[in-house]
Chains A and B, each alone.
Chain A
Amino acid sequence: MVTGATQNPTPPTKLRWGELDEDDGEDLDFLLPPKQVIGPDENGIKKVLEYKFNDEGNKVKITTTTRVRKLANARLSKQAVERRSWPKFGDAVREDVGSRLTMVSTEEILLERPRAPGSKAEEQKAAGDPLTQLGKGGAVLMVCRTCGKKGDHWTSRCPYKDLALPAESFVDKPAVPETATAAAGSGKNTYVPPGMRAGADRSGTDMRRRNDENSVRVTNLSEDTREADLHELFRPFGAVSRVYVAIDQKTGMSRGFGFVNFVNKDDAQRAINKLNGYGYDNLILRVEWATPRTN
């Protein structure tokens, strides 16, 4: 682009140097300072300072600030350059400059590298044995309110925080797909399906199926046993993802059996060992694996 640097500043009135007075030395206003280019700095910002005479004959300083950003090395072939100057056709003929058909995204989009699979899986395994976690030297005894695990994580960082609080909300049988329940999202803004929740293992079996393998059947329950009672009873053994008590719709009484789903198999095994034969509310409980002999 042609700049003002090459033009000869012609003063409005033709002065001949011989006619200048001595003290008109400062009046050499017809000479303009040279153009200055402050080159692209690290952000690619380039400033060009130009001096010109505007229409009224006043000296004006024009500062052009441009951001030089290399989009792509456009090494266009000759035909491509010709194509650049083709006239618009079709619907583009009537296009005004402000049509905003094409715009640069306001967000910076990155090529996101996939997360290392270990990071999620380890969270699960570490949560497996809460009692040993307690022994970890000197740590503050954190109790997570959601899953009841001690010493592992804070409530806000609970990997199971999106699961429905089992006691109050879940009345459905575990086998029913979870898409229906609104209760799951009761404490949150949105419904997050189990497959997408934090702590969900999406490789192969999803969380629900794994939990179903850790399903414990409890029989010989007293009439007024409810989910909350089972949850309270089984909670010391580990994180309980779901409880269900079969309730007779007509009488509102428990039909004597229920299911408890643990997150971890070992917790379920310990619960079975401890609670089988346990006296609870005037009846002796029978606790066993729900599906026959899961290994």
Chain B
Amino acid sequence: MRPILMKGHERPLTFLKYNRDGDLLFSCAKDHTPTVWFADNGERLGTYRGHNGAVWTCDVSRDSMRLITGSADQTVKLWNVQKGTQLYTFNFGSPARSVEFAIGDKLAVITTDPFMELTSAIHVKRIAGDSTEQTEESVLVIKGPQGRINRAVWGPLNRTIISAGEDAVIRIWDFETGKLLKESDKESGHKKTITSLTKAADGSHFLSGSLDKSAKLWDTRTLTLIKTYSTERPVNAVAMSPLLDHVVLGGGQDASAVTTTDHRAGKFEAKFYDKILQEEIGGVKGHFGPINALAFNPDGKSCSSGGEDGYVRLHHFDPDYFNIKI
């Protein structure tokens, strides 16, 4: 396949997200401007100007009308997707690391980093349908985990919030009460910072990727470990195909391995694994730097990866991809 290269960002990519229809791709990078592209040919539609710091995360509402972005400038902003105008700004005391709309787009979960005296926290904000009525107040604030919380997502039916972060423990919180319901097992869980988390299309299981060079598949309700996928590189980003039973891991390079790299460029790859057999199916090379973001188009026929090199690579799969057998 011939990937489409999109070099709209000057700095490393941090996050990629497709909208529900799969025709728009939102990319966040450290260069302060999230960008939206058309997902079929990679043509740039527009950029959202307004943040003053690296944009770590974003999410788009189901109707693709609103975009929420979290940034290192300690704000989370709501945007009109079509016009690129800001609708609202939430202010926090520390950089925002992860945002996600709830099912129904009436709530959003936001995580903030530990900063000076503040510990890391998970905030839930109500999102008003009409942004002029938007208020700053939080529905719920959860404090507790040590270290940075890299990702927090909603569980099924918005009843729970799943968080994962630097302490390598995955936690499930009850949304109504804010209590901790479950924690992942220390022995079978990750050993190092969890960098990324992605849910399955039906929400029954999710995948977490960690710097301990592995990714693990968990059941959402019981938080039991289902599968483990191991690689040779620390995992920075994970994605699951909504169509086939494939899992994609994208990673970086251990600091200790820096001097041993191949002198040829373009060798950072996203690795595909069979979800059930845990075996590697193959790798897609091309990035010039560690891969920081991965996303699958909801139709499962294309995926995109964003790297430290500032490029977004959009891959439309060849027909033989769908016939791969181990």
**Which of B68-76, B168-176, B257-265 binds A?**
B257-265
C-alpha spacing A166/B260, complex, angstroms: 21
**Which of B1-9, B136-144, B151-159, B197-205 binds A?**
B1-9
For residue B44, CB closer than 8 A to chain A, the reply is yes
Which residues of the other chain, B, contact A190 by a CB distance below 8 angstroms? 263
Which residues of the other chain, A, contact B6 by a CB distance below 8 angstroms? 101-102
Which of B63, B280, B321, B324 is in CB contact (< 8 Å) with A79?
Answer: B63
Which of B42, B283, B316 is in CB contact (< 8 Å) with A102?
Answer: B42
For the complex, would chain A's binding face be called helix, strand, loop or mixed by DSSP majority? loop
Which residues of the other chain, A, contact B283 by a CB distance below 8 angstroms? 111-112, 114
Which residues of the other chain, B, contact A107 by a CB distance below 8 angstroms? 2, 286
**Which of A27-35, A81-89, A282-290 binds B?**
A81-89
Instruction: State whether A90 touches B48 (Cβ < 8 A).
Output: yes
**Which of B33-41, B101-109, B187-195 binds A?**
B33-41
Instruction: State whether A103 touches B262 (Cβ < 8 A).
Output: no
Instruction: State whether A86 touches B82 (Cβ < 8 A).
Output: yes
Instruction: State whether B40 touches A90 (Cβ < 8 A).
Output: no
Which residues of the other chain, A, contact B259 by a CB distance below 8 angstroms? 179, 193
Cβ < 8 Å to A, chain B residues 5-62: 5-8, 21-24, 33, 35, 37-38, 40-49
For residue A15, CB closer than 8 A to chain B, the reply is no
C-alpha spacing A83/B313, complex, angstroms: 22
For residue A249, CB closer than 8 A to chain B, the reply is no
Instruction: State whether B2 touches A111 (Cβ < 8 A).
Output: no
Instruction: State whether B24 touches A91 (Cβ < 8 A).
Output: no
Instruction: State whether B41 touches A109 (Cβ < 8 A).
Output: no
Which residues of the other chain, B, contact A72 by a CB distance below 8 angstroms? 40, 301-302, 316
Contact status of A92 and B46, CB under 8 A, knowing A114-B280, A193-B260: yes
Which residues of the other chain, A, contact B43 by a CB distance below 8 angstroms? 102
For residue A105, CB closer than 8 A to chain B, the reply is yes
C-alpha spacing A190/B259, complex, angstroms: 12
Contact status of A102 and B286, CB under 8 A, knowing A72-B316, A196-B260, A196-B262: no
Which of A83, A102, A104, A109 is in CB contact (< 8 Å) with B284?
Answer: A109
Instruction: State whether A86 touches B45 (Cβ < 8 A).
Output: yes
Instruction: State whether B272 touches A79 (Cβ < 8 A).
Output: no
C-alpha spacing A73/B317, complex, angstroms: 11
**Binary contact track B71-90/A, C-beta < 8 Å → 1, others 0:** 00000000000111000000
Q: How far is the CB of A176 from chain B (nearest CB, A)?
A: 14
For residue B233, CB closer than 8 A to chain A, the reply is no
C-alpha spacing A146/B111, complex, angstroms: 58
Instruction: State whether B38 touches A84 (Cβ < 8 A).
Output: yes
For residue A174, CB closer than 8 A to chain B, the reply is no
C-alpha spacing A105/B266, complex, angstroms: 12
For residue A250, CB closer than 8 A to chain B, the reply is no
Instruction: State whether B1 touches A108 (Cβ < 8 A).
Output: yes
Cβ-closest chain B residue relative to A106: B2
Contact status of A111 and B324, CB under 8 A, knowing A76-B21, A76-B23, A83-B24: yes
For residue A175, CB closer than 8 A to chain B, the reply is no
Instruction: State whether B4 touches A91 (Cβ < 8 A).
Output: no
Which residues of the other chain, B, contact A14 by a CB distance below 8 angstroms? none
Instruction: State whether B301 touches A83 (Cβ < 8 A).
Output: no
For residue A195, CB closer than 8 A to chain B, the reply is yes
Which residues of the other chain, A, contact B33 by a CB distance below 8 angstroms? 90-91
Cβ < 8 Å to B, chain A residues 64-123: 71-74, 76-77, 79-80, 83-84, 86, 88-93, 95, 101-105, 107-114
Q: How far is the CB of A104 from chain B (nearest CB, A)?
A: 5
C-alpha spacing A265/B223, complex, angstroms: 47
For residue B93, CB closer than 8 A to chain A, the reply is no
C-alpha spacing A72/B315, complex, angstroms: 10
Instruction: State whether B46 touches A111 (Cβ < 8 A).
Output: no
Q: How far is the CB of A166 from chain B (nearest CB, A)?
A: 21
Cβ-closest chain B residue relative to A100: B7
6 residue pairs of the A-B complex, CB under 8 angstroms, read A72-B316, A91-B49, A112-B284, A114-B283, A193-B259, A195-B260
**A positions within 8 Å CB-CB of B:** 71-74, 76-77, 79-80, 83-84, 86, 88-93, 95, 101-105, 107-114, 179, 190, 193, 195-196
Q: Which 6 A-B pairs have the closest CB atoms?
A: A90-B47, A89-B84, A89-B46, A193-B260, A80-B23, A111-B282
